[in-house]
Chains A and B, each alone.
Chain A
Amino acid sequence: MSETKQISENAVEVRNVFKNYGDVEALRDLTLQFPKGQLTSLLGPSGCGKTTLLKIIAGLIPATSGEVLVNGKPVTGPGPDRAFVFQDFALLPWATVLRNVAFGLELRGVPKPQREEIAVKYIKDVGLSGFEQSYPHELSGGMRQRVGLARALSVDAQVLLMDEPFSAVDEQTRRKFQEDLLSLVQNENKTFLFVTHSIEEAVYVSDQIAILLPRPSRVSEIIRPTGFRNKDKDSIRRDAEYLDIVDKIWASLRTYVE
């Protein structure tokens, strides 16, 4: 993809967004673009407002001022062009995997046979075939997040908003997830917004990394890894550019860690 095309086509644009909670300034004059078809990470120490920003883009909480555009249209609330993946999975404990995955479609009024057909396909895609009739409490943390991912994919939104989706799963599962996410970005023509506090994770999966700093929250830097993005998944972690970027980000973040 050429550099000019990446800049000209943004799936999501955040323009001069402020967010205050009473006297507390969560976001100050934040402007950021998310290129179409790519994965952008929001990376920063806790309290830097990255989840707040993601929820404003999702339309779950309103900005105090400023504007968010999704495909050129201003955001006024949740919409079918965006789907959210939750940190704590947010599955219905009383419903089967099948109903959980189909729940987004159920809320959109898709008739049962159709939505279950779609759900079965995405359950297969995330590798949970055979677990359609299981309940969330019968699954491991990693499998639960696969259900959350399948639910977000099945509504076929152009923009996927992921709020620290892998932070509640164990390290091995997390690595597998990161690899799967790379394939997902490549195969699905979707835009991914990915909140994380792990530097390595952000560098590994992202086309673009926005570093957010707290007090007051702002975008301090945008990094676009170029060299290793098309390389083999297994060799990324040994790539010199990968290691350089990880070091560089740590150098700029370390002063904010008490």
Chain B
Amino acid sequence: MKLFGYELPQMSSLILWGLLWEIVGRLEVTFFIPALSDIFVTLLEISTTKVFLTALSETGYAFLLGTVSAIVIGIPLGILMGKNRLVDELLLPWVNIFLSAPLTALVPVLMVLFGFGLQAIVITTALFAIWIIVLNARAGVMQINRSLVEMAHSFGATPKDAFFKIYFWAALPEILGGVRIGFIRAVKGVIIGQLLISIVGFGALFELYSSNFLMKHFWAVLIVLFSLAFILAEILAYLEKRVSYYASRRAA
């Protein structure tokens, strides 16, 4: 966007909203909205405390395990569905159901099945992320140029070669898109897991701060979480852009 002839950097509108927040906070309209500057001061204060760092590492660890398993299972499964009609017919309805299902409602079942520990949280996180990863990998494979597959076949490619040298790369732009959305959903999953299953990590902090009406602390943790999720999504969007140059030229 341009203002008075100057090109504004992306998301400079945030400055405006930040100012508004600061004003509303200073006017002490509601305890729910403390001044933004106070929140950042609190953020600096708590960011070195052991409670915060433990929470960060607990949430980060569960998030990492959950997303990695979603990727490791989801991408091959999606590619397989795109390649094989029978597998696709069998699994596609389930993938679609789980993609749109309110997964939060399943969390109590997961607790019964997997207990109240890390395992259940990781599975919740993976369940939030995996379906869109599967669907995108599948979509990526389905639009693959048939003659690339024929080419590999004609030069004697084994199924393994075809999988790693053709299908994966041809579907990579879509796969990365799926991983990016999957990561965003996984943030939701890990927090829901840590609120509902066992009160640990950032979930515990949210619980602690909101029930004690420590709004500055509450907002500080929320801002940290938003920023982390945002940075992750941006990194993946950047990678996606780097490989998508060939998505539009796949006929080549």
- Complex: how many Å from CA A155 to CA B243? 29
Quick check: is B161 within 8 A (CB to CB) of the other chain?
yes
Quick check: is A78 within 8 A (CB to CB) of the other chain?
yes
Q: List 30 A-B contacts (CB under 8 A).
A: A58-B154, A59-B154, A78-B153, A78-B155, A78-B156, A80-B156, A82-B154, A84-B151, A84-B154, A86-B151, A87-B147, A88-B145, A88-B147, A88-B251, A90-B147, A90-B151, A91-B252, A92-B166, A92-B169, A93-B250, A103-B155, A107-B152, A107-B156, A107-B157, A107-B161, A107-B165, A108-B155, A108-B156, A136-B252, A137-B249
Which of B155, B165, B245 contacts A83, CB < 8 Å?
B155
Quick check: is B45 within 8 A (CB to CB) of the other chain?
no
Contacts of B249 in A (CB 8 A): 93, 136-137
Contacts of B250 in A (CB 8 A): 93
Interface residues of B in 203-252 (CB under 8 A from A): 243, 245-246, 249-252
Contacts of B245 in A (CB 8 A): 137
**Mostly helix, strand, loop or mixed at chain B's interface?**
helix
Query: Which residues of B line the A interface, CB within 8 A?
Result: 145, 147-148, 150-157, 161, 165-166, 169, 172, 243, 245-246, 249-252
B155 adjacent to A90 (CB under 8 Å): no
- Complex: how many Å from CA A144 to CA B246? 15
> What per-residue 1/0 map shows which CB atoms of A76-110 lie under 8 Å from chain B?
00111011101111111110000000011011100
Chain A residue at minimum C-beta to C-beta distance from B150: A60
A83 adjacent to B154 (CB under 8 Å): yes
- Give, as a whole number of angstroms, the nearest-CB distance from A253 to chain B: 27
Contacts of B243 in A (CB 8 A): 94
A155 adjacent to B155 (CB under 8 Å): yes
Contacts of B157 in A (CB 8 A): 107
- Give, as a whole number of angstroms, the nearest-CB distance from A152 to chain B: 9
- Give, as a whole number of angstroms, the nearest-CB distance from A105 to chain B: 9
Contacts of A137 in B (CB 8 A): 245-246, 249, 252
Q: Which of B154, B155, B245 has the most CB of A within 10 A?
A: B154
A90 adjacent to B150 (CB under 8 Å): yes
Contacts of B252 in A (CB 8 A): 89, 91, 93, 136-137, 144
Contacts of A108 in B (CB 8 A): 155-156
Contacts of A155 in B (CB 8 A): 155
> What per-residue 1/0 map shows which CB atoms of A140-166 lie under 8 Å from chain B?
000010000000000100000000000
**Mostly helix, strand, loop or mixed at chain A's interface?**
loop
Contacts of A90 in B (CB 8 A): 145, 147-148, 150-151
Chain A residue at minimum C-beta to C-beta distance from B148: A90
Interface residues of A in 48-74 (CB under 8 A from B): 55, 58-60
Contacts of A59 in B (CB 8 A): 154
B169 adjacent to A60 (CB under 8 Å): no
- Complex: how many Å from CA A69 to CA B231? 60
- Give, as a whole number of angstroms, the nearest-CB distance from B47 to chain A: 41
- Complex: how many Å from CA A106 to CA B243? 23
B251 adjacent to A78 (CB under 8 Å): no
- Complex: how many Å from CA A161 to CA B157? 18
Contacts of B251 in A (CB 8 A): 88
Which of A83, A87, A91, A94 contacts B172, CB < 8 Å?
A94
Contacts of A91 in B (CB 8 A): 252
- Give, as a whole number of angstroms, the nearest-CB distance from A110 to chain B: 11
- Complex: how many Å from CA A142 to CA B249? 16
- Complex: how many Å from CA A91 to CA B151? 9
Contacts of B246 in A (CB 8 A): 93-94, 135, 137
- Complex: how many Å from CA A135 to CA B245? 11
- Complex: how many Å from CA A224 to CA B9? 70
- Complex: how many Å from CA A184 to CA B80? 41
Chain A residue at minimum C-beta to C-beta distance from B249: A137
